[in-house]
């Protein structure tokens, strides 16, 4: 009998890195003979495409028990409320993929509201007043219940050592943790172009891809590019709550005519291929950071702030440039160094493509099936 996995997450459609991960994971596993079922709280963008690798797709937590019948594993990924999984009448082995900080940071962003200083503390009672400053906040009781569910899961997965260390600090037993890096398969992903094709690389073209929210640091990038003395143009692909603010900021900095904001794009592969350099200016502690590796996979060098799990894939002066977190001047210097030195940019881009090459669909599905086959559920 083929392995059957039920994926349970919030958005059943394209939205950000979480949904792209789920789509690519289901694609890879389906190709390896795994039956994937999807249960989501509500649909997202491009649902017809998003549902193609799933044998079934349902919306609403009430479908979870039905779809788990006869399945081998339940895989939770970015769930607002784990109560439906905890209430399943029959115990099914459960894996939780911790994609970001939501399960152990009540504010979700892992940085403090004052000056947005990154928080390095584990979850505690002091998180309650901090979390209440965030918009659309969950109830403290529900947050604590979700964290308790993760601590008791049979298997807890994350994409970087940084995330695994956070989970240990927040009470997840190390014996139940496994690292599972995301796949970066440019041949099958809607987020990138085909494999093995070098980018066109327009001279001076800087690219940023991701949600335009404060944690992603687009405002810091705008301040950095305003300092550049070489020819440049910036394209910011994505949308979010900071989009209007960043447009106004570009105007105040006098660079609006050199910055494009095309909004959300479900298939930004052409943007990657036009870039001379990729900027990854996140101010928050990135759990992994998918768009940086996607750019590297097609030979684009990356400049990134040294935060969170970025070191999992970016090696300074080997396949990109790391700069101190939130250092706008250092970010500007790094961008200018690559824009004015095509030979170094090409060297870093070639090495980046080679380093990301193992992050394939085949390796991902092999790793998943191996982990699940060798995991002994603790609650069986």
- pLDDT of res. 267: 80
Considering the chain, what percentage of its residues have pLDDT values greater than 70?
94
Identify which of 64, 65, 71 has the alpha carbon closest to the alpha carbon of residue 2.
71
Identify which of 183, 210, 341 has the alpha carbon closest to the alpha carbon of residue 279.
210
Question: How many secondary structure helices (H) and strands (E) does the chain include?
Answer: 14, 13
Domain boundaries 205-356, corresponding CATH code:
3.40.50.2000
Superfamily of domain 4-183+360-374: Glycogen Phosphorylase B; (3.40.50.2000)
Q: Where in the chain is the domain with CATH 3.40.50.2000?
A: 4-183+360-374, 205-356
Burial-class residue 159 by CB neighbours within 10 Å (0-12, 13-18, 19+). Answer: buried
Across the range 120-126, mean pLDDT stands at: 90
Identify which of 101, 63, 67, 96 has the alpha carbon closest to the alpha carbon of residue 82.
96
Whether the pLDDT of residue 67 is over 90: the answer is yes
Q: Which residues contact 309 (CB under 8 A, 6 or more apart)?
A: 159, 160, 161, 162, 163, 285, 286, 287, 288, 289
- pLDDT of res. 15: 85
Across the range 10-19, mean pLDDT stands at: 89
- pLDDT of res. 186: 52
Tell me the pLDDT of the chain averaged across its residues: 91
* Cβ atoms 212, 206 nearer than 8 A: no
Across the range 144-172, mean pLDDT stands at: 96
Whether the pLDDT of residue 178 is over 90: the answer is yes
Angle at 30 between CA 298 and CA 16, to 5 degrees: 50
Considering the chain, what percentage of its residues have pLDDT values greater than 90?
78
The residue count of the chain comes to 380
Whether the pLDDT of residue 358 is over 50: the answer is yes
Structure tokens at 72: 């081998």
Identify which of 180, 154, 178, 183 has the alpha carbon closest to the alpha carbon of residue 167.
178
Q: Which residues contact 332 (CB under 8 A, 6 or more apart)?
A: 224, 225, 227, 228
* Cβ atoms 234, 303 nearer than 8 A: no
Query: Can you tell me whether residue 51 is helix, strand or coil?
Result: coil
* Cβ atoms 84, 61 nearer than 8 A: yes
Whether the pLDDT of residue 327 is over 90: the answer is yes
Distance between start and end Cα atoms, the chain: 20
Rounded-to-integer distance, Cα 83 and Cα 79, Å: 10
* Cβ atoms 121, 285 nearer than 8 A: no
pLDDT tens per residue across span 256-308: 999 999 998 878 889 999 999 999 999 989 999 989 999 999 999 999 999 99
Instruction: Classify residue 130 by its DSSP letter.
Output: H
Rounded-to-integer distance, Cα 267 and Cα 265, Å: 5
Identify which of 163, 58, 72, 150 has the alpha carbon closest to the alpha carbon of residue 110.
163
């Amino acid at each position: 009998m083929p392995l059957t996995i039920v994926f349970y997450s919030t958005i059943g459609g394209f939205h950000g890195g979480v949904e792209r991960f789920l789509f690519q994971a289901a694609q890879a596993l389906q190709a390896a003979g795994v039956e994937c079922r999807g249960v989501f709280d509500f649909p997202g963008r491009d649902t017809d495409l998003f549902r193609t690798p799933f044998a079934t797709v349902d919306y609403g937590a009430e479908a979870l028990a039905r779809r788990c019948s006869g399945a081998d594993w339940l895989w939770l990924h970015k769930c607002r409320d784990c109560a439906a999984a905890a209430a399943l009448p029959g115990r099914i082995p459960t894996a939780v993929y911790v994609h970001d900080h939501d399960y152990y940071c009540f504010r979700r962003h892992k940085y403090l509201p004052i000056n947005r200083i990154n928080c390095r503390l584990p979850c505690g009672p002091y998180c309650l007043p901090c979390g209440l400053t965030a918009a659309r906040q969950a109830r403290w009781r529900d947050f604590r219940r979700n964290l308790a569910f993760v601590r008791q899961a049979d298997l807890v997965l994350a994409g970087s050592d940084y995330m695994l260390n956070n989970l240990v600090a927040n009470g997840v037993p190390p014996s139940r943790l496994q690292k599972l890096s995301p796949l970066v398969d440019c041949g099958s992903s809607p987020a990138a172009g085909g494999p093995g094709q070098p980018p066109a690389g327009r001279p001076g073209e800087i690219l940023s891809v991701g949600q335009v929210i404060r944690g992603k640091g687009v405002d810091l990038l705008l301040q950095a590019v305003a300092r550049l003395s070489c020819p440049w143009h910036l394209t910011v692909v994505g949308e979010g709550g900071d989009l209007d603010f960043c447009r106004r900021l570009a105007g105040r900095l006098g660079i609006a005519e050199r910055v494009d904001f095309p909004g959300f794009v479900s298939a930004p592969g052409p943007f990657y291929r036009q870039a001379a350099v990729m900027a990854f200016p996140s101010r928050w502690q990135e759990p992994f950071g998918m768009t940086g590796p996607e750019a590297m996979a097609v030979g684009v060098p990356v400049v990134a702030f040294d935060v969170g799990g970025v070191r999992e894939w970016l090696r300074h002066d080997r396949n990109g440039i790391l700069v101190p977190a939130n250092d706008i001047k250092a970010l500007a210097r790094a961008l200018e160094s690559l824009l004015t030195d095509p030979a170094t940019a090409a060297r870093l881009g070639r090495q980046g493509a080679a380093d990301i090459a193992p992050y394939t669909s085949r390796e991902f599905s092999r790793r998943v099936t191996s982990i699940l086959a060798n995991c002994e559920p603790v609650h069986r």
